[in-house]
A and B are shown apart, each in its own frame.
Chain A
Amino acid sequence: MNKVFKTLTLLIVVTLVFGVVFSSCKKKEEVVEAAPVAKPIVAMATDTGGLGDKSFNDGSFQGLKDAAVDFNLDARVVESKQQTDYVPNLSGLAEDGAEVVFGVGFLMADALLEAAANNPDTAFAGIDVWIDPSSAPKNVQGLLFKEQESGYIAGVVAGLLTKEHASVSDRLNDDNVVGMVLGMDIPPVERFQAGFYAGVKSVNPDCTVLSVVTGTFTDQAKGKESALAMIEQGADIIFQIAGLTGLGALNAADEAGIAGIGVDVDQYAVAPDAIITSAVKGITQASYLTIKDVVDGKFVGGDNKVFGINEGATGIAPYHNWNNIIPGVVKDAVDKATADLKSGKVVAPASRAEAGYEG
């Protein structure tokens, strides 16, 4: 009797603790500006990473906030705690009367299509989501990026620094090896990888380009070990394409006294002395421009929109501490590569097969 009672008590306590912990971090709506007059709503649902990732979700929401200021809108965000939250979150925002609802992350593709089909009067947009133009509802748009262009330009920097200009910093060596640490092998990651490879080879055909797939976006230790294994082989520049796993890779580069290149956003702050630049992806521009289209009545659904260097959505971040180290010729080469990509004279490969890279 006593035992049953105690077990029951414990179960109740555990349930209550659960309730408190999880209810406090469930669906949180952040209203940026209190709206005295009902302003049009623009909204987004994050993927399970949530706000605070300093990449994807934060970048998208920044675009919403910028647009909210410029066009006098009300920006809202709902965080998804698990994949089953996607559809309710997206549909819920549409039912709140949002003009456009963003789904962030390629994992949301199916949920986005379902929500769009259920709410035909609301515009939906998916960041990093590819939609099939032949079957997708007409109120949903896929927003994709030419990550290969950012990778290509970062590759030009790395290719020149690792060999020809290795003398400019004692973080660089003469081995002519660079390395990449990948998260999961998904299309956006592969585009960065293929572009980087092509960029390095365009200026330094003899360079050895190594890469390791870690299979995770959250495991710093694995990112670090992967980077260290390449550093052992003489790599002096590590390009991370692995989200939070990559923090470990940049950390390894910093500790080993070599250089690193960040990804998605300017990651200079992670290791100010080691990070040469970052291959960025203009998620903020993409969400901003999409809202602008909706405001201007130019939103066209049922298809994908690809953001590249001409939209100002791909490229590299400032050099920060390396600005005075990097020789002018390298900066000129970067400008030339940027111009070539813009004019279409050079097309960065979007896959390993196109780049001819086995890694």
Chain B
Amino acid sequence: MEAFFAIFNTDLLVATIRLSTPITLAAVGATICEKSGIVNIAMEGMMIMGAFFAVIIAYYTGNPWLGLVGGVAAGGIFSLVHAVATVTFHLDHVVSGAVLNILSFGIVRYLMVLFFGHPGTTDPIPVGLGGYQFAIPGLSKIPVLGPMFFNQTPIIYMSFILIVGALFFLKKTKVGLHLRAAGEHPLALETIGVSVYKMRYLGVVISGLFSGLAGAYLSIENAVSFTEGMSNGRGFIALAAMISGGWTALGSFAAALFFGFADAFQIRMQIFKVLPIPAEIFIIFPYIATVIAVAGLVKKSRPPRADGIDFMIEREDG
């Protein structure tokens, strides 16, 4: 039993932050997307694109910061496909999302052979962002919270800022209000002269940028190379986090933290051998916990009213 309590230390919480960051980013981005009325299941694909292009650019320029920009941009550009398909061409949102996910695997594999001569894993980049860990003076000395929030790597800091930014954007800005209206009552928005199409494009692209950043975190901050399949379903976990977080930025963050905690916890359960059960049970624990959270514990989870509902303006010439 003593070993069990030894698991609960600051390291566990720091690991929780590291494990949840990519999920948090993708989930918060997806929240903004769905607030605008577009269902997004393509975070996995956008993450893969972000992760891959971050490495490609960091590899050829030798600068991880340019890689970061490249990864974010790649996620954004790739998400435009989803925006064009769903907003302009009124394609079913889930179908388009599934296409993006599958397409990303093919594109990345093709480009890997093109750039590196083989699929599998890329050559390592010269410098990763992991080396840029810095402690914020003063704040990092606070027990427990200090190491968790104030002694981290760049993209983790960015994720904190982006959560606050997303909250502010959705609640306090005019554009945020318009974006939410596009997902709740698009006709009303169009009536006051604001383009629903534009708001939905904005929502999708923001989600792409966030997912691209999540991918860059995996490939150039947490690692120094890109590996096929390295996102390992995190985009889908982000989807679950967004839903169990009740389509809110804070809720998504909390749900992602929960998943990260469950994962960090199961790794330590394996190490401390507290329970004599097979490792497979531990491995599925975070997923089961998420399913339970989505299915049972979260009662009041309501998507935006017009989420996934196509909006088409009948123009004179159309």
Contact = CB atoms under 8 A, between A and B. Distances in A.
Nearest to B268: A229
Q: Categorize the interface residue count of chain A.
A: 35 or more
A210 B88 CA distance: 54
Interface in B160-199: none
A224 B263 CA distance: 13
B117 interface: yes
Contacts of A58: 118
A347 B174 CA distance: 73
Contact of B271 (A7, A210, A219): A210
Interface string A217-241: 0111110111011101100000000
Interface stretch (B104-112, B202-210, B235-243): B104-112
Interface string B49-92: 00000000000000000000000000000000000010011110
A228 B90 CA distance: 46
A21 B11 contact: no
A21 B108 CA distance: 10
A202 B146 CA distance: 42
Nearest to A233: B271
Contacts of B90: 3, 6-7
B8 interface: no
Contacts of B103: 14, 17-18, 21
Interface centre among B22, B91, B268, B271 (most CB of A within 10 A): B271
Contact of B267 (A49, A226, A247): A226
B223 interface: yes
B117 A247 contact: no
A353 interface: no
A251 B228 CA distance: 17
Interface in B266-305: 267-268, 270-271, 273, 276, 279-280, 282-283
B229 interface: yes
Contacts of A134: none
Contacts of A212: 267, 270-271, 279
A251 B128 CA distance: 11
B118 A52 contact: yes
A25 B110 contact: yes
B119 A50 contact: yes
Contacts of B113: 25, 52
Contact of A221 (B223, B273, B280): B223
Contacts of B254: none
A10 B88 CA distance: 10
Contacts of B118: 50-53, 58
Contact of B280 (A53, A54, A215): A215
A210 B3 CA distance: 14
B121 A222 contact: no
Contacts of B15: 225, 228-229
Contacts of B126: none
A117 interface: no
B271 A221 contact: no
A355 B227 CA distance: 33
B264 A225 contact: yes
A2 interface: yes
A24 interface: yes
A218 B18 contact: no
A120 to B, nearest CB: 34
Interface string A252-288: 0001000000000000001000000000000000000
A89 interface: no
B230 A218 contact: yes
B24 interface: no
B117 A185 contact: no
Contacts of A229: 11, 15, 264, 267-268, 271
A155 B39 CA distance: 51
A62 interface: no
A214 interface: yes
A359 B276 CA distance: 9
A119 interface: no
A25 B109 contact: yes
A92 to B, nearest CB: 21
Interface string B145-158: 00000000000000
A333 interface: no
Nearest to A1: B318
B222 A185 contact: no
A270 B119 contact: no
Nearest to B99: A14
A52 B103 CA distance: 21
For the complex of A and B, 8 pairs with smallest distance between CB atoms: A52-B118, A218-B229, A213-B279, A215-B283, A219-B232, A21-B106, A52-B120, A220-B223
5 contacts: A51-B119, A185-B280, A221-B218, A233-B271, A244-B121
Given A212-B270, A212-B279, A255-B131, 20 more contacts: A7-B90, A7-B91, A9-B89, A10-B91, A25-B119, A52-B116, A52-B118, A54-B120, A58-B118, A179-B271, A212-B267, A218-B227, A220-B223, A220-B225, A222-B232, A228-B15, A229-B15, A244-B228, A244-B230, A359-B273
